[in-house]
Structure 1
Amino acid sequence: MFFVSDIMVMAPDSYKSSLQELVYESLAKLQISFERVDTDEAISMEDCIAINKKLDMKMVKTLFLCNSKKTEFHLFVTTADKPFKSKEFSNALGISRVSFAPAELMESILGVKIGAATVFGVLMDKDDLVRVVFDKDVLSEEWYGCGDGTTTGYMKVRTKQIVNDFLNYAKHIPTVIQM
């Protein structure tokens, strides 16, 4: 059975990565409240069902994408139930076709491993390489469910605070598309 802890409203006592520490420091600085849980390692969207139930929200799907030359990067946030269609994404932005970015670039640019992509990864994007793109349907949800930069920590934050407060603070104003 997939383990999900009781709900907590404080940062962890210790951190598994510099990104995770930065996430909680940033939320505290911005006075953004959250609920969080610790879990077994969650990699797939199926693993998120128990997390969604515990936190009473819907986890977003966050994809790290790049062009074929690996010179343009996109962090795409969409609903968990939508399949990703590269052609539709590229057409919506008027860009050349994209694919999933290699694991090593995800780690070096966002500070996360495969399965841990999160909007908070832009805190590690010091060279401003990443364009944040939101599916419009995510914005209609009151709650934003995502990882904290690990595959064992998940949280619930108000969507408006992610889009308006956090992304402004991180200097990554999102582009919104309809998929």
Structure 2
Amino acid sequence: MFYISDILVNSPESYKSTLQEMVYETLKKLEIPFERVDTDEAISMEDCIEINKKLDMKMVKTLFLCNSKKANFYLFITTADKPFKSKDFSNALNISRVSFAPAELMEQILEVKIGAATVFGVLMDKENLVQVVLDKDILLEEWYGCSDGTTTGYMKVKTELIVNNFLTYAKHIPKVIEM
């Protein structure tokens, strides 16, 4: 049985990473309310479905991408049900083909491991190497569901607060594309 805690509205008592601590400190500083749950390590789509039910929202899909030279990086956020097509993404941004960035680069730049990619990773991108790209369908959702930078912590935040307040604060103004 996959464990999901009761819904919480405060920060964890202890943090599993520097990023996770920064996430909650930033939300507090920006006065952005959230609901969150602690879970077993979420690995499958079935796990995410259970988290979605508990928090009454839809988890986003967050992909860390790069060009072939590994010089340009993109954090693409789309709906969980959409398949990713590199050609469509590249065409929408008018850039050369992209692929999934190596796990070690994601850990180095965003300080998250595979399975924990999150918009909050841009807090670690001090050199502004990463372009945040939002699928326009994300903007249609009232709630933004994502990881808190771990594979055992998930949260629900108003989408408009992520886009307008958090990303502005993090100095990562997103590009919005249609996929």
TM-score, with normalisation over the residues of structure 1?
Answer: 0.99
| 3-state DSSP of counterpart to 1:46 | helix
What does residue 155 of structure 2 align with?
A: 155
2:53 aligned with 1:49, yes or no?
no
Question: In the aligned structure 1, how far is the partner of 2:176 from the partner of 2:98?
Answer: 17
Counterpart AA for 1:29: K
Question: In the aligned structure 2, how far is the partner of 1:86 from the partner of 1:2?
Answer: 32
Residue 138 of structure 1 deviates from its aligned partner by 0.5
List alignment gaps of at least 5 residues for structure 1. Answer: none
CA contact (8 A) 1:145 1:156 kept: yes
CA deviation map 1:58-96 (0-9, x unaligned): 000000000011000000000000000000000000000
| 3-state DSSP of counterpart to 1:144 | strand
Compute the RMSD of aligned alpha carbons: 0.6
Residue 47 of structure 1 deviates from its aligned partner by 1.8
List alignment gaps of at least 5 residues for structure 2. Answer: none
Q: Figure out how many residues of one structure are paired with residues of the other and give that number.
A: 179
Question: In the aligned structure 1, how far is the partner of 2:16 from the partner of 2:40?
Answer: 14
Question: In the aligned structure 2, how far is the partner of 1:97 from the partner of 1:35?
Answer: 37
Question: In the aligned structure 2, how far is the partner of 1:127 from the partner of 1:43?
Answer: 30
Question: In the aligned structure 2, how far is the partner of 1:178 from the partner of 1:61?
Answer: 15
Question: In the aligned structure 2, how far is the partner of 1:45 from the partner of 1:108?
Answer: 26
What does residue 135 of structure 1 align with?
A: 135
What does residue 37 of structure 2 align with?
A: 37
Identity rate of aligned residues, in percent?
80
| 3-state DSSP of counterpart to 1:127 | coil
1:15-30 superposed matches below 5 A:
15-30=15-30
| 3-state DSSP of counterpart to 1:89 | helix
2:77 aligned with 1:80, yes or no?
no
| 3-state DSSP of counterpart to 1:47 | helix
Question: In the aligned structure 2, how far is the partner of 1:173 from the partner of 1:59?
Answer: 21
CA deviation map 1:23-66 (0-9, x unaligned): 00000000000000000101333320000000000000000000
Counterpart AA for 2:146: C
